[in-house]
């Protein structure tokens, strides 16, 4: 990169900075363990990594040793010098250096292509760049952890050691980032989920989450909200089976484009598949009868459970699972209704995210290499998506080649309270599946026509959305979602009857209330209630039982003072009704 003032807000600058940092990491490792074989070391979101093949297993102490060596390389301020070799010379050189992974990468490059390398001090690495001008431009670096990683992400290949790190232009920025990482650890939905007893994943079913009573409260409230809002907007709800025959998946295109992610079974000597997506089932629901152009748009919504094969190394709490419930809808419409339906869905998704306090950005993904349909159909569909987003004056970026195999899509990326982004909602415009299933309607001309179709999800996945909400709110959910809205604690068992009477009155007002009347110290019970993130805590002793005036503590706002039980109930009911954050 040119020697000019660095603008670290620019993606290309960050990538070059962190890519250079990964080379410094590799150079340090080779200095300490010359026998280490190098794989790849790219820049990634918020940092970088490098993969190594080494018999020695990296420890936390090793990371400190490597980081110390990296600082020496940075202080040496080596220039990064680019040079090229012919493919033959590059392969011979990698053979001499005994770098089999680099050799494999070169072998995959086209014949006749010149191969680029970067040199810094005694260290040389195969790389296309770009990089910073010198190692001294890297100001603040931190190695974070070690993980296993299959070579090229293929579980049939050798497991390598991946060292993750990050780097910033100043120690202050690095310190702020590390503080955010620590906060993210505290908010980890797996940790909070265990403390709040929301969900569990057992070794008998890796990637298959069990929802526990507290987690089911959140899930049911989300689903109730989802159903209410869909009913307001003219959707009707369906449910389709988990298993359908293999022939249907050939028709849908999933057999050719998605079967590596699917599970299969046999029934009565026939071949069947467990559904990875809900859309083919919706096609069968539509196809059961003939519609007129007057019936459109037809909006079918489904909370449909799907199963997808994920590698065990990719599984992560509720964020990456092998079964989840997609909050789908499939909208069938006339060509002239596409624009209005797209705008309506985008507006719907925006409303839902606003309820949870999320901001978001939008990406439009275009035709992938593995796809169905003509370029002309894809161009029409992409243009329709752009037009709808532009009508609502929503900024967007183009994500080339990342559409679904049957159509382009709009993806909604939420930003949480830590500034992290999560892809959740999606809208896909599909001209292919209606053709493949040969669904039609009778037009105003009396002839049969093929309808257009939108696939869309708001939450994306109920499971993943709960995981995101858990981390976003650090377990302190909005009252309408909270598993325990009121926890009543008694100072001694003498006041248990009063506490139970009070709890019953609050339950009659529709509130979720628990009483902790155990013979334990009140300080212990308060700590437990706080750790469980119970929304409101009320302590009952002699004064409260005789006066009916209770002290109220909020998990978010702290002590709120004293109030009567009816006033407390009204406050909570209003908070729930408004879905206050």
User: For residue 430, what are the β-bridge partners?
Assistant: 453
How far is 8 from 139, CA to CA, in rounded Å? 12
| DSSP string for residues in 18-38 | HHHHHHHHHHHHHHH-TTPEE
To the query of whether residue 279 is one of the catalytic residues in this protein, the response is yes
Single out the catalytic residue among 409, 472, 487, 533: 409
How far is 255 from 58, CA to CA, in rounded Å? 42
How far is 271 from 277, CA to CA, in rounded Å? 18
How far is 46 from 26, CA to CA, in rounded Å? 18
Single out the catalytic residue among 330, 367, 456, 553: 330
Nearest alpha-carbon partner for 330 in 315, 319, 341: 341
Single out the catalytic residue among 328, 411, 430, 534: 328
User: For residue 19, what are the β-bridge partners?
Assistant: none
To the query of whether residue 326 is one of the catalytic residues in this protein, the response is yes
To the query of whether residue 320 is one of the catalytic residues in this protein, the response is no
Single out the catalytic residue among 279, 456, 464, 525: 279
How far is 388 from 511, CA to CA, in rounded Å? 41
Q: In terms of C-beta distances under 8 Å and separation of at least 24 residues, what long-range contacts does 383-392 make, across chains too?
A: 384/338, 384/339, 384/342, 384/429, 385/342, 385/409, 385/410, 385/427, 385/429, 387/339, 387/342, 388/339, 388/342, 388/343, 388/346, 389/346, 389/362, 389/364, 391/339, 391/343, 392/343, 392/346, 392/347, 392/350
To the query of whether residue 409 is one of the catalytic residues in this protein, the response is yes
Q: Please measure the distance between the N-terminal and C-terminal CA atoms of the chain and give it in whole angstroms.
A: 45
Single out the catalytic residue among 137, 326, 432, 485: 326
CA-based max dimension of the chain: 91
DSSP strands (E only) in 283-379: 291-292, 298-307, 323-333, 359-365
Catalytic residues, by residue number, are 279, 308, 326, 328, 330, 409, 455
């Amino acid at each position: 990169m040119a020697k000019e003032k660095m603008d670290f807000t620019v993606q290309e600058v960050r990538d070059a900075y962190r890519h250079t940092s990964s080379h410094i990491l590799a150079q340090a490792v080779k200095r300490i363990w010359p026998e280490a074989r190098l794989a790849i070391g790219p820049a990634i979101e918020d940092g970088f990594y490098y993969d190594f093949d080494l018999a020695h297993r990296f420890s936390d102490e090793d990371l400190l040793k490597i980081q110390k060596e990296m600082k020496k390389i940075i202080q040496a301020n080596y220039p990064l010098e680019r040079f090229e070799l012919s493919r033959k010379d590059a392969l011979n050189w990698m053979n001499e250096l005994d770098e089999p992974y680099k050799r494999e990468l070169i072998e995959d490059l086209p014949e006749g292509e010149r191969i680029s390398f970067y040199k810094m001090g005694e260290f040389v690495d195969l790389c296309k760049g770009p990089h910073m001008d010198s190692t001294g431009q890297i100001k603040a670096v931190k190695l974070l952890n070690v993980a296993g990683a299959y070579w090229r992400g293929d579980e049939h290949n050798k497991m390598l050691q991946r060292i993750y790190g990050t780097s910033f232009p100043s120690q202050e920025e690095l310190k702020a980032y590390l503080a955010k990482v620590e906060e993210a650890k505290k908010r980890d939905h797996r940790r909070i989920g265990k403390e709040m007893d929301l969900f569990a994943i057992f070794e008998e079913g890796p990637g298959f989450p069990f929802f526990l009573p507290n987690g089911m409260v959140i899930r049911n409230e989300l689903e109730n909200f989802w159903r209410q809002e869909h009913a307001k907007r003219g959707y009707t709800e369906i449910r389709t089976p988990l298993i359908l025959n293999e022939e249907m998946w050939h028709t849908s295109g999933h057999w050719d484009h998605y079967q590596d992610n699917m599970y299969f079974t046999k029934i009565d000597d026939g071949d069947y598949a467990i559904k990875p997506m809900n859309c083919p089932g919706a096609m069968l629901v539509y196809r059961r009868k003939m519609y007129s152009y007057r019936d459109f748009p037809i909006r079918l919504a489904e909370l449909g459970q799907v199963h997808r094969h994920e590698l065990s190394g990719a599984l992560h709490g509720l964020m990456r699972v092998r079964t989840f419930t997609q909050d789908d809808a499939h909208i069938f419409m006339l060509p002239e209704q596409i624009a209005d339906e797209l705008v309506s869905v985008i507006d719907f998704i925006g409303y839902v995210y606003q309820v949870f306090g999320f901001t978001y950005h939008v990406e439009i993904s275009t035709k992938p290499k593995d796809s169905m349909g003509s370029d002309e159909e894809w161009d029409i569909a992409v243009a329709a998506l752009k037009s709808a987003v532009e009508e609502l004056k929503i900024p967007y970026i183009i994500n080339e080649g990342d559409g679904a195999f049957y159509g382009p899509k709009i993806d909604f990326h939420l930003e949480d309270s830590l500034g992290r982004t999560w892809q959740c909602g999606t809208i896909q415009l599909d001209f292919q599946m209606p053709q493949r299933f040969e669904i039609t309607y009778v037009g105003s001309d009396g002839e049969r026509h093929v309808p257009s179709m939108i696939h869309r999800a708001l939450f994306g996945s109920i499971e993943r959305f709960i995981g995101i909400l858990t981390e976003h709110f650090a377990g302190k959910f909005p009252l309408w979602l909270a598993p325990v809205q009121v926890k009543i604690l008694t100072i001694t068992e003498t006041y248990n009857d009063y506490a139970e009477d009070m709890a019953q009155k609050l339950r009659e007002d529709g509130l979720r209330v628990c009483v902790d009347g155990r013979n334990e110290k009140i300080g212990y019970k308060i700590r437990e209630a706080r750790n469980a993130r119970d929304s409101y805590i009320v302590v009952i002793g002699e004064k409260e039982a005789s006066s009916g005036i209770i002290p109220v503590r909020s998990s978010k706002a702290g002590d709120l003072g004293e109030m009567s039980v009816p006033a407390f109930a009204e406050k909570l009911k209003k908070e729930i009704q408004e879905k206050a954050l």
